[in-house]
Amino acid sequence: QVQLVESGGGLVQAGGSLRLSCVASGRTFNGYAVGWFRQAPGKEREFVAVISWNAGSTYYADSVKGRFTISRSGAENTVYLQMSSLNPGDTAVYYCAARRDLGTLYYQPSVYNYWGQGTQVTVSS
């Protein structure tokens, strides 16, 4: 069982930056692809970014490409989401999720087995 805990959310002005962290406990992240998703009020959960188990591959939603960077630290058992040039449209609860990496990266939330509790990101204009 993989338990995930997100942190790093908060209130930031438009144009600012935040770094989210997703720490795994219970077992290591080794062998798991990890994705970041977000959900704004009244909207469906949407894909943001995903990273393969060895950090060799990453994939981003078009809406965040060039502004967000996903990375991971095996030593720290942590996956990060560095967010820059934030705008009010990025306001949402951000979740990390994990699934066994079988060679394909997925953007569909339904295929991820483990989820964190979420961290709120609010961008003011």
120, two tokens: 């709120």
Average pLDDT, the chain: 95
Please spell the DSSP secondary structure of 78-119, one letter per residue. Answer: EEEEEE-S--GGG-EEEEEEEEE-SS-----GGG--EE---E
Above pLDDT 70, what percent of the chain? Answer: 100
What pLDDT sits at residue 29?
82
pLDDT, residue 79, reads 96
For 27-53, letters b (16+ CB in 10 Å) and e give eebeebbbbbbbeeeeeebebbbbbbb
Q: How far apart are CA 3 and CA 105, in angstroms?
A: 20
pLDDT average, residue stretch 102-125: 95
Are the CB atoms for 8 and 22 separated by under 8 Å?
Answer: no
Tally of CA atoms within 13 A in the half-sphere of 55 that contains its CB: 13
Q: How confident is the model at residue 27 (pLDDT cuts 50, 70, 90)?
A: confident
pLDDT at residue 1 is higher than 90: no
**Residue, of 123 and 56, whose pLDDT is higher:** 123
